[in-house]
A and B are shown apart, each in its own frame.
Chain A
Amino acid sequence: MSFRTRVLLAFAAATLLSLLVLAVGIRQQVTTRVTAQHERRVEALARVAMQDLARENADVSARLHSLVASLADDNRFRLAVQGAPAERAFLLDWAGGAMRVSGLSMLQLQDEAGRILSSGHFRNEYDRLEPRLPLLLASAADRPTVVRVRAPEGPMLVLARVDSTRIGSRALTLVGGITIDQGFLNRFARDSEVTVSLATPDGMVSSDSTPAPDTSLVSAAEQLAYIGSLGDSLQVEPARLVVTHTSGELEALRRDINRWFAVALAAAALAGLALAFWLSAGLSKPLAALARATSSISLEGPDLEIATGRDDEIGTLARRFGAMGRRLRASAAQLLDAERRATRGDMARQVNHDVKNGLIPIRNVVQHLAEVQERDPERLAAVFAERRATLESSIVYLDTLARNYARLTPRIDRRAFDASAVAREAARSASSDGVVVQTRIAGAPATALGDPVVLRRILDNLLRNAIESLPPSGGEVTLEMKLPPAGGVRLIVADTGRGMSDEELARAFDDFHTTKAGGTGLGLSVVRRLAADLQADLRVESAPGRGTTFVIDLPPASNSPA
């Protein structure tokens, strides 16, 4: 993940998280306050509904009282209640007319026995006995009382009151009221969201024909008296005036709040993302330019000025990078000069080393011939003949070496050659030091691509290192040659010497690194360079006390240039 992406994500996360917390917090606060305000409003509406009911109740009383007052001067009514046959029809119709005039929707006139003399809401209910209704209504005093009265087409609920009067010798009661139906309750609602319901033991009537949803708020429930059962078993039961408020408006408000908060959050998030993108781009762009400039720094090339023109930290960093580059270039120049000088000494040591390698077989042969001359002079000629090849080989080696060094830079004579012959000669040459190098080399030629002299130098160095690594008690050095299926030649030089630690192994091919007293530290570094010249793979496996194994994979002859 790029630095820019990380910066972008970090900015975005920080922005969105902050906005989310802010939005959720504000929304919660707003919702809580709106809900509380809504509930207070519903409670206020409920109180108003209760007051309306009380006012209607008092209004019914006032209308009944007015009717009673008007009866005192009505002579026809007096005749009718005294039983005048000619006025019977008038009496039967009286309640209907009085009910309409007084604005009531229920009115019945009863005598002292409870007999209905005239009924307005049920004109033909005359002569029915209902003595308990006036008594129960009187006992309710000013408390709003709902009565379930009979009407021709079914029962109806009435907010009823009772009044009484005396006409001559007759004690009369008037029970009157107004219908409690959907329209009546709807006047109490005063708000389309408010539903006023009257719940009685016999059922419920509501200002709204549709049932209230479960989410409705029940704000108040006023206890009323209810005279429900008809007939002789009239009794007072509890009823409730329930004010509910559908939460539709509140829910709509909440939805609006949520919607606008979501919109605001989305807008802020987009703005935050844009800002984060801009900031990350502003941060990463000079860094990327600095990286590009850094990648083009060359110790050998001309100075590269990293100029940002910025005064901030990025500009300071760029300037410091530039200064660091200049210092590095100066140090590199110094280092290069030192390396050149060291390389000359190294060359001298290598020449010395290579010459010594070429002289050692000659010295051994001469020493051998001297010993033969002293001990058995007669065999001198035979031994000389036997060792002549070694002498000639060493002389050829030294001659070639001399020619190579004469060209200062060794020239690789890349060609197809028999690696097995070079390997056998190197093993034989090394074995003359008193240590027998075990060879596992097939008799058939093994053709590889490269320079046989360079391979000989590689093998001489590796075999000598192997022999020198053996403890005084002796050990074993082997040179094995294999022919990999993929082509080429694999040479393996293994010893049973002391081996190397991981740290030693990591530095084994470094120049001037040696673990031997008096060592030059150039043997394996020369081997590394020569292997590279041959385009051969070189690897080593070693462990302390378990010896060391070098593997050289020479390229196949088919890779030779045409």
Chain B
Amino acid sequence: MSPLRNAASLGVFAFSLLACATSAHPNATVAPVASCVIGAAPRNGGDTLSVAVLAPVDWAHVPEPTNAAERLAFAQTYETLIDVDCDGRARPALAASWTLDLTRTRITVSLRKGARFWSGKPVTAGDVLAAWRETGARSMSSARLAREIAGGTTIVDDHTLIVSLPDTAWLVLADRTLAIYEPQSIAGWPEGSGPYRIAERSADLPPGGFMLTPVAPAFDPYLVSRRVPSGDPRDAIDAGSDVLVTDDPVAVSYAIARANLVAVPLPWTRSYALAVPREAPALLQPDSDSAALRVSLARDAVHVEARAAQPPYWWDACSASPDSLPATPTADGRSNRVVFRRDDSVARALAERLVALDPRSVAAGLSADDFARALRDGGDLAYVLDLPRVSLSPCVNVGDLRAAAPWLVSGGADARLLPLIDTRESAIVRRDRVSATVDWRGTLHFSHASSRP
């Protein structure tokens, strides 16, 4: 996952959430909003759902997922204080209620009574702070947010804590980086407090697979996740998987042709943008041609469901003045490369199309580390970035962006971030067996036992 993706794994409609973010009732069981529900199956406690994943799950990555499979698995097992549904509404999670002060930068949070880790140990405010500190001590770029939040947290009692926020974007508490876990676990993976726990017999599954046991089996199904060895989502469909999330339009077409499956488009969660250290290519100047180009890119260049990037863009929403940031010049010299991460097929397709339109340039696919290094130096013609479509805290994400590409924020008037396309995934589910909700990240939640978005 790219530094930017690590740094800005958030994505929610922050601008639309501010209006409704006031307080929540701790005991309310919020019914899923209709637009955020997938499948029409009755609540199927005790059933077992087969969930196909295309990437391995490494529990050592808790709390921050590095791929779609970990995102799905961690969402079931580790809670944040609050959740945000696919429509941008805040929902109680580990926090039963919260109150913002007048500045909207201090929030008093009350934990859910009866919240326990899988071991049975109650979750206290101290555990919350300890988890944030643990995450903040890691070397990952997104640890900065956890450190900042932990540094501004005051414990009132075992169930209450006050958090000082970087800005008024308090929904940042839904960031997966701030998920709560108990690091000191003897189970082989961190203990969580979510509606699912990792089953001991997960070890018996094939490599990459895992099994999640519902905390409330009367309400929720068991989840067995199997990795698709071939990497082709259609193989998972043929193998009878109940749930599959993919961005492969071929697989979606294949699923649509099956009577018992339904393909549900998930929210637009990713944006691809072109980071240009100096003068932007003429083709991408903000005029009607560039708009046509974006449409063309979304329609013809990529193999995922895409659309031309649509404003507003969160990186324009942060009010931080560039003058307050230290100037960081780009590297001397400039190559003719349009650089992308080689493991990102969408970024590759975009880069190749841009190169096709500019005879002087070439495309260069780099490893994650090399890409991060090249982006930081800013010595290339342009960089294809994979960014979250929306942000829970634009200024936090801009800060991460600044850390990844210092020249992009303060490098001068010619340094620009040009949005290209938005992409989304689709959930392919067996219509008579699955009932799930979708959060702001497009992640499915299978638990109905508690208040879920």
Q: Determine if A153 and B364 form an interchain contact, defined as CB atoms under 8 angstroms apart.
A: yes
Give the distance to chain A from B249, nearest Cβ to Cβ, in Å: 8
Known contacts: A88-B300, A153-B365. The answer to whether A124 contacts B359 by CB under 8 A is no
Candidates A88, A124, A154; contact of B356 at CB < 8 Å: A124
B-contacting residues, A211-227, CB 8 Å? none
CB nearest to B348 among chain A residues: A152
Across chains A and B, the number of contacting residue pairs, with CB separation under 8 Å, is 36
Q: How far is the CA of A11 from the CA of B427 in the complex (A)?
A: 102
Pair B349/A123 contact, Cβ less than 8 Å: yes
Q: Which residues of A contact B352 (CB under 8 A)?
A: 122-125, 152
Bound CA span A122–B362, Å: 11
B301 within 8 A of A: yes
In the bound complex, CA of A476 to CA of B348 (Å)? 137
Quick check: B300 and A152 within 8 Å, CB to CB? no
Closest residue on chain A to residue B365 by CB atoms: A153
In the complex, which residues of chain A have a beta carbon less than 8 angstroms from the beta carbon of B351? 152
Contact check, B300 vs A125: say whether CB atoms are below 8 A apart: no
How far apart sit A313 and B225, CA to CA, in the bound complex (Å)? 112
**B353 contacts partner chain A, Cβ-Cβ < 8 Å:** yes
Given A89-B300, A126-B300, residue A152 in contact with residue B355 (CB < 8 A) = yes
Bitwise, A128-169 to B at CB < 8 A (1) or not (0) is 100000000000000000000010111000000000000000
Q: Are B365 and A124 in contact (CB under 8 A)?
A: no
CB distance from A21 to the nearest CB of B (A): 65
**Interface status of B72 (Cβ within 8 A of chain A):** no
Assess whether A92 is interfacial by the CB under 8 Å rule.
yes
A89, A126, A230: the one within 8 Å of B359 (CB): A230
**Which of chain B's residues 320-354 have a Cβ closer than 8 Å to chain A?**
348-349, 351-353
By a CB distance below 8 angstroms, the chain A residues around B356 are 122, 124-126, 128, 150, 152
CB distance from A149 to the nearest CB of B (A): 12
Closest to A155 in B: B362
CB distance from B164 to the nearest CB of A (A): 48
A residues less than 8 Å from B299 (CB atoms): 88
Tell me whether A150 and B300 are in contact (CB under 8 A). Answer: no
Instruction: Let me know if A231 is at the binding interface, CB within 8 A.
Output: yes
Task: State the CA gap A128–B352 with chains docked (Å).
Answer: 13
Least Cβ–Cβ distance between A496 and chain B, in angstroms = 116
Question: Which residue of the partner chain B has the closest CB to A126?
Answer: B300
Q: How far is the CB of B420 from chain A (nearest CB, A)?
A: 13
* Residue among B352, B353, B356, B364 having the largest count of chain A Cβ atoms under 10 Å: B356
Q: Complex formed: what's the CA distance from A153 to B362 in Å?
A: 5
Q: How far is the CB of A534 from chain B (nearest CB, A)?
A: 115
CB distance from A147 to the nearest CB of B (A): 16
Minimum CB–CB distance for B303 against chain A, Å: 8
A399 to chain B, nearest CB (A): 136
- Residue pair A124, B349 in contact (C-beta under 8 Å): yes
Considering the chains assembled together, what is the distance between the CA atoms of A126 and B300 in angstroms? 9
Cross-chain contact B300 with A92 (CB below 8 angstroms): yes
A496 to B364, CA, bound (A): 124
**Beta-carbon contact of A150 and B363 below 8 Å:** no
Q: Are A124 and B364 in contact (CB-based, < 8 A)?
A: no
Question: Taking CB as reference atom, which chain A residue is nearest B364?
Answer: A153
Q: Give the chain B neighbours of A150 by CB distance below 8 A.
A: 356, 359
Instruction: Tell me the complex Cα distance, A332–B363, Å.
Output: 119
Interface residues of B in 347-398 (CB under 8 A from A): 348-349, 351-353, 355-356, 359, 362-365
- List 17 other contacts, CB 8 Å, given A124-B301, A152-B352: A122-B352, A122-B356, A123-B349, A123-B352, A124-B349, A124-B352, A124-B353, A125-B356, A126-B356, A152-B348, A152-B351, A152-B356, A152-B362, A153-B362, A153-B364, A153-B365, A154-B362
Minimum-distance CB pairs A-B, first 6: A124-B353, A152-B363, A152-B352, A125-B356, A124-B352, A154-B362
> Can you pick out 10 interface pairs between chain A and chain B where the beta carbons lie within 8 Å of each other?
A89-B300, A122-B356, A124-B300, A124-B301, A124-B355, A152-B351, A152-B355, A152-B363, A153-B365, A231-B359
Interface residues of B (CB under 8 A from A): 299-301, 348-349, 351-353, 355-356, 359, 362-365
Q: Identify the A interface with B (CB < 8 A).
A: 88-89, 92, 122-126, 128, 150, 152-154, 230-231
